[in-house]
């Protein structure tokens, strides 16, 4: 009786110990390396379990034909296409033509006719400068000129009659011409009191208000020509040998959910010593005015190109426990379709597609949906639904 009780207790103890050990094995680690190792372990266990299930199903199917329902799969042909891999470089949208507006004469700003964001046309009046002081100087010079002109005409008549000295005649002439040039200069300055738009575009970065003093060369505002825009990006210097002027690039605008193609129109001549990059530019026509200055852009640069390559979806590539890649294809014999495992050699991979270097041909038909649920040699049915 005592031996029976002791045996029962021993069995219970062993079961509790095993249960604790299983729970311990299924605890997910907290660190990244541990999580990766745990995931790898579980994948191996799943693959072993799937192989055992498939083996048992095949055994049962051979012992009791017709009991097992064949797996329904979809297929696709292996095709050749040009394979491109891209690197994504962050860029920014800029106006292709930026005009800085400044005053050519000093003076107080009387009137500003535009605001930031206004669309202006070439020749439109933007700013009016106070030129009262210049007007006063002009009036003074004109009065002096009238006197100088009268003196010169008198000296000229006397000089023609050989009366008076030559120096008097030349002095009067010089004084009249000097005042003429001074008047002309002031008239030119008066014409610069009104500042007009040199080109059409959008007003931006207005830096002065009415009543403030404007100085020559000091920027009052900018006009952006938004009809034509450009994307600039800083490219790492290791792309120098692969990026050329005229190369086609794809540009994405994430906030607009839009992409377009263009060509590199400019490559910088220097390397930025701070981040070891060089600049590139790509120009675009701004259709519907969707592109705005400083808008984020993603430039896709081709860093690998393989023409006429065998390319399949990355998710059709499976791996054995050893890490050897393979793909499942369809074979037909006596009207019956079966799955066949083909070992492959893979190449570059990008955006869900992978290059097949060896193991497949254009004559092969890949199993797509259902490929991970079947084993080598298993009979399958091909789905005819679209």
Calculate the average pLDDT of the chain.
83
- The domain that holds 285 is classified in CATH as 2.40.30.170
Whether 1 is covered by a domain: the verdict is: no
Residue-number span of the structural domain to which 239 is assigned: 86-97+225-302
pLDDT at 105 over 60: yes
Phi, psi of 252 (to 5 degrees): -110, 145
pLDDT of residue 6: 44
Whether 239 is covered by a domain: the verdict is: yes
Q: Rounded CA gap, 177 and 22, in Å?
A: 109
The pLDDT confidence band at residue 316, using thresholds 50, 70 and 90, is very high
- The domain that holds 195 is classified in CATH as 2.40.50.100
pLDDT digits (tens, 9 = 90+) for 122-157: 899 999 988 877 788 878 888 888 888 888 788 788
Query: How many Cα neighbours within 13 Å face the side chain of 140?
Result: 8
Angular region, 189: left φ>0, alpha ψ -120 to 50, beta rest:
alpha
- The domain that holds 340 is classified in CATH as 2.40.420.20
Phi, psi of 109 (to 5 degrees): -75, 115
The pLDDT confidence band at residue 67, using thresholds 50, 70 and 90, is very low
The pLDDT confidence band at residue 61, using thresholds 50, 70 and 90, is low
Q: What is the dihedral of CA 345, 349, 352, 356, to 10 degrees?
A: -30
Q: Rounded CA gap, 339 and 381, in Å?
A: 10
Mean pLDDT of 35-61: 75
Token pair recorded at residue 20: 């604790």
pLDDT digits (tens, 9 = 90+) for 225-276: 888 889 999 999 998 888 889 988 999 999 999 988 899 999 999 999 999 9
pLDDT of residue 29: 80
Token pair recorded at residue 346: 């893979």
The pLDDT confidence band at residue 297, using thresholds 50, 70 and 90, is very high
Q: Rounded CA gap, 364 and 341, in Å?
A: 12
In the DSSP assignment, the letter for residue 385 is: -
pLDDT at 217 over 90: no
pLDDT of residue 14: 47
Residue 95 and residue 291 in contact, taking contact as beta carbons nearer than 8 Å: no
The pLDDT confidence band at residue 40, using thresholds 50, 70 and 90, is confident
What is the distance of C-alpha 280 from the center of its chain?
Answer: 12
Asked if residue 375 and residue 313 are part of one domain, the reply reads yes
What's the number of domains the chain is made of? Answer: 3
Q: Rounded CA gap, 33 and 49, in Å?
A: 24
Q: Rounded CA gap, 215 and 386, in Å?
A: 73
pLDDT digits (tens, 9 = 90+) for 90-104: 999 988 888 888 888
pLDDT at 46 over 90: no
> Against a cut of 0.75, is the pTM above it?
no
pLDDT digits (tens, 9 = 90+) for 333-355: 888 888 999 999 999 999 899 99
Q: Rounded CA gap, 190 and 187, in Å?
A: 5
The pLDDT confidence band at residue 64, using thresholds 50, 70 and 90, is low
Q: Rounded CA gap, 265 and 245, in Å?
A: 6
pLDDT at 161 over 80: no
Asked if residue 139 and residue 245 are part of one domain, the reply reads no
Token pair recorded at residue 22: 């299983």
- Helices (runs of H) and strands (runs of E) counted in the chain: 4, 21
End of a domain among 302, 333, 365? 302
Q: Rounded CA gap, 191 and 125, in Å?
A: 13
End of a domain among 302, 325, 356? 302
End of a domain among 269, 302, 335? 302
pLDDT of residue 3: 44
Nearest Cα residue to 280 out of 315, 228, 231, 322: 231
């Amino acid at each position: 009786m005592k031996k029976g009780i002791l045996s029962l207790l021993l069995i219970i103890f062993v079961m509790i110990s095993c249960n604790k050990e299983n729970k311990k094995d299924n605890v997910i680690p907290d660190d990244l390396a541990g999580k990766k190792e745990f995931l790898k372990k579980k994948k191996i266990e799943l693959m072993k379990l799937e192989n055992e299930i498939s083996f048992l199903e095949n055994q049962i199917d051979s012992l009791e034909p017709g009991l097992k329902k064949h797996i329904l799969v979809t297929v696709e042909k292996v095709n050749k296409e040009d394979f491109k891999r891209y690197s994504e470089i962050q860029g920014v949208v800029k106006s292709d033509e930026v005009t800085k507006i400044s005053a050519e004469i000093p003076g107080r700003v009387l009137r500003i006719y535009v605001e930031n964001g206004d669309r202006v046309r070439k020749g439109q009046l933007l700013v009016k400068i106070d030129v009262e002081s210049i007007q006063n100087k002009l009036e003074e010079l004109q009065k002096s000129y009238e006197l100088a002109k009268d003196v010169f005409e008198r000296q000229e008549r006397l000089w023609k009659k050989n009366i008076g000295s030559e120096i008097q005649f030349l002095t009067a002439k010089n004084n009249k011409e000097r005042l003429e040039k001074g008047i002309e200069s002031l008239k030119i300055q008066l014409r610069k009191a009104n500042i007009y738009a040199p080109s059409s575009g959008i007003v931006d970065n207005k830096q002065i208000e009415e009543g403030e003093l404007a100085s020559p060369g000091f920027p009052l505002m900018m006009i952006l020509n938004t009809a034509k825009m450009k994307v600039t990006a800083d490219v790492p210097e290791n792309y120098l040998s692969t990026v050329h002027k005229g190369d086609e690039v794809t540009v994405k605008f994430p906030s607009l959910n839009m992409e377009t193609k263009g060509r590199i129109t400019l490559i910088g001549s220097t390397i930025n010593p701070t981040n070891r990059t060089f600049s590139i530019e790509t120009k675009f026509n701004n259709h519907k005015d969707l592109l705005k200055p400083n808008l984020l852009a993603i430039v896709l640069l081709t860093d690998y190109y393989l023409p006429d390559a065998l390319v399949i979806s990355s998710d059709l590539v499976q791996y054995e426990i050893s890490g050897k890649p393979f793909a499942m294809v369809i074979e037909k014999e006596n009207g019956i379709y079966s799955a066949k495992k083909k070992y492959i050699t893979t190449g570059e991979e990008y955006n869900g597609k992978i290059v097949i270097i060896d193991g497949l041909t254009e004559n092969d038909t890949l199993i797509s949906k259902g490929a991970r649920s079947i084993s080598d040699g298993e009979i399958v049915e091909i789905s005819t639904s679209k």
